[in-house]
Structure 1
Amino acid sequence: MSSSSSRLLTGHFPEYELLENSLTQAFHGRAALLFNSGYHMNIGILPALADSKTLILADKLIHASMIDGIRLSSAKYVRYRHNDLNHLTQLLQKYHADEAFERIIVVTESIFSMDGDETDLAALVSIKQQFCKVMLYVDEAHAIGVRGAQGLGCAEQYAVIDDIDLLVGTFGKAIASVGGYLICHAVIRDYLINAMRPLIFSTAQPPICMAWTNFVFQKVLGLDQRRQYLQSTSQYLQQAVQSKGFECPSTSHIVPVIVGDSIKTVEKAKALQDAGFYIMPVRPPTVPQHSSRLRICLTAQITQADLDQLIPLL
């Protein structure tokens, strides 16, 4: 039930290698590295890779864990407007020729956790290929399991797995477990094992968790019909929310109902909970001022009949 120490000491077990091998096999033979959580992952990778000669260009709405990772690094940090790849390109053109920077890391999520919208990964890869100093860091926490033919995320869906330098995700969402993972070049994996502080100085996950994650991951690869069903119910709800007059930027199974006022949002969430729907309010500072929302997270177990009961209550 415990690994008792970090993987670099006595906390390494065959179950870790089995899961990493499963990930490597699924992700086109690329190297895989496991972490205790998505937060551990995001606060560890960037500080290990990014030094004072690194520039990080990050989407304005990246997750707090990624922001913390950037702050822990010694890199310069500039944000680009949310999903505005033209703005990103302008920043790349501005900074790429600057000799102060040996490397530029572009940091984004594929599906964003609060708006439920997504970045154009194919376009992002195309931009990256125009600049030799650029590496891509893409967090698929909300895409793994639910996008792509095998559920490998938006990177699989848009056929860019091999073009993303640092492809990260978590097991705590669709994989029904705990932990994080990185898909990368083998050299980067070896470097992080020896340089990433949250990996080196944390007790590793219990082997039983690794075995469970591997079991679920193998099942998820074959759930394409359920993924298609989830996509159709998500689109149904998105359209219904918009037809009620709410702003809803979602293109995914995360469907926000943006109310605006915090007190009204909390009251509406409580009314929905009293009616039997477990929907939580999200308020500042998690989201910007005046954009409080109900955050509806769909799964393949939710039926259209369920949604038809929910929609009139909105």
Structure 2
Amino acid sequence: MENESWITPLLRQLQADGRERTLNVLPRAGGRFSIDGREYLNFSCNDYLDLSRDPRVLSRAAETMSRYGAGAGASRLVTGTLACHAELEAALASFQSYPAAIVFGSGCLANVGVLSTVLGRSDVVFADRLVHATIIDGIVLSRAKLCRFAHNDIEQLDSLMTRAAAARRPGFRFLVVTESVFSMDGDRAPLRALCEVASRHEAMLLVDEAHALGVLGPYGAGLVREHGLGNRVNACTATLSKALGSYGGFVACSTELQALLINRSRPFLYSTGLPPASVGAALAALEILRAAPHLGPTLLARAELFRRQLRELGLNVMHSESHILPLLIGDNATALRFSARLKAKGILATAIREPTVPRGTARIRLSVTLAHAEEDLLQAATAISEAARLEGLL
């Protein structure tokens, strides 16, 4: 294509650095699938509770689409707010124990939308160094000053906030932002300690619950609710596309913040409302969670079994304490070979490389789901052990 000669050298450099990405085209979503008669176990899927194929979820999605149509037809502030959107937002607010909730087109848009709305050029945001890229994108768009603290380092956060407070002017806002379960490491944030520091420095606190929702907390309502911190955490963001098996994102917050987002959040203002099928699927998933509080604990027990198996083999799964297990490899080339070896054994587990994770910490991120039986975990552990020996990691 004309005037695109600059693209090819960039792609070649990505390939040379072991950072080129390609798309895996699969026959279906979920924790297991078949290609040409061969079954694969998918350990790179975020459908944690295996709800995306649940008959109740599929039925509700079809029913809602049949009633409201395939699309919302307009942005939310025009005529794109349907009764099902209001029902979902009320259900999410209740589930998260917040006064209100507002649905966005994706988890990415929820993070970008809330951060670019509540922050301005004169504000300071303190972000854990390992927060998701979409959080950083929202901060950049807000033009607020970004201060990053070492992962889960409360002492350093307190020190940074103390120094920033010396130059703080009246009306300038402070915000602390973290994930409750970190997407690439599988560990948890010290939420109580973060609340204490934020309160001491008169800062707002935002928590991304994307990987906790549906798995941790009462009925899968997340870590903020598990610790009873809803009145101290200004807002929680999360996605409908992981444990809930649907698509979309949301912010759980006060009614005042909800009103501000409706009026000022550009990703909300200028996006068509969420498709009714996705809304129906999410509503069904929430009902399933309320009726089956054992789902999250069951998943965590399976993840603990898998973690123990891998550690007993001498493998480094870092500080994982959730259903996400990062198998630390190191360099990009080895991680790519490792992933290919697993695929040859019927295990789909993608190599995660920079810039998603810091340089030198390439890994195989293993996501355990309820689609994985205990015998599947043993099969995966055996394949991982063989690949590790071939790569000299054991």
User: What number of residue pairs does the alignment pair up?
Assistant: 313
My pick for the range that moved more, 94-103 or 111-120, is 94-103
> What amino acid is aligned across from residue 255 of structure 1 in structure 2?
L
> What amino acid is aligned across from residue 152 of structure 1 in structure 2?
A
Q: Tell me, yes or no, if the aligned pair for 1:30 and 1:186 is still in contact at 8 Å.
A: yes
| Pair 1:251 & 2:321 matched | yes
* TM-fit CA distance, 1:110: 0.6
* TM value normalised by structure 2: 0.77
* TM-fit CA distance, 1:127: 2.0
* TM-fit CA distance, 1:7: 0.6
Q: For residue 116 of structure 1, what is the aligned residue in structure 2?
A: 186
Q: 1:156 aligns with which of 225, 241, 266?
A: 225
Q: Tell me, yes or no, if the aligned pair for 2:351 and 2:363 is still in contact at 8 Å.
A: yes
Q: Secondary structure at the match of 2:348?
A: coil
Distance 1:93 1:240 in 2: 43
Q: 1:33 aligns with which of 92, 102, 109?
A: 102
Q: For residue 28 of structure 2, what is the aligned residue in structure 1?
A: none
Gaps of 5+ in 2: 1-69, 385-394
Q: For residue 107 of structure 1, what is the aligned residue in structure 2?
A: 177
Q: For residue 75 of structure 2, what is the aligned residue in structure 1?
A: 6
Distance 1:193 1:217 in 2: 24
> What amino acid is aligned across from residue 224 of structure 2 in structure 1?
A
> What amino acid is aligned across from residue 181 of structure 1 in structure 2?
F
* TM-fit CA distance, 1:253: 0.3
Q: For residue 366 of structure 2, what is the aligned residue in structure 1?
A: 296
> What amino acid is aligned across from residue 363 of structure 2 in structure 1?
R
* TM-fit CA distance, 1:48: 1.2
> What amino acid is aligned across from residue 146 of structure 1 in structure 2?
V
| Pair 1:309 & 2:355 matched | no
Distance 2:233 2:292 in 1: 24
My pick for the range that moved more, 99-108 or 180-189, is 99-108
Q: Secondary structure at the match of 1:33?
A: strand
| Pair 1:194 & 2:249 matched | no
Gaps of 5+ in 1: none
- Percent sequence identity over aligned pairs: 33
What's the C-alpha RMSD, in Å, of the aligned pairs?
Answer: 1.4
My pick for the range that moved more, 39-48 or 174-183, is 39-48
Q: Tell me, yes or no, if the aligned pair for 1:147 and 1:156 is still in contact at 8 Å.
A: no
My pick for the range that moved more, 77-86 or 269-278, is 269-278
Larger RCO, structures 1/2 (Cα 8 Å, 6+ apart) = 2
Q: 1:131 aligns with which of 186, 197, 201?
A: 201
- Per-residue CA deviation, residues 168-208 of structure 1 (Å, 9 max, x unaligned), is 10001000001111111111110110000111011111223
* TM value normalised by structure 1: 0.96
* TM-fit CA distance, 1:29: 4.6
Q: For residue 143 of structure 1, what is the aligned residue in structure 2?
A: 212
Distance 1:6 1:109 in 2: 29
- Per-residue CA deviation, residues 276-302 of structure 1 (Å, 9 max, x unaligned), is 112111112211111111111011221
Q: Which has the larger radius of gyration?
A: 2
Q: For residue 205 of structure 1, what is the aligned residue in structure 2?
A: 274
- Per-residue CA deviation, residues 254-273 of structure 1 (Å, 9 max, x unaligned), is 10111112222111111211
Distance 1:222 1:103 in 2: 40
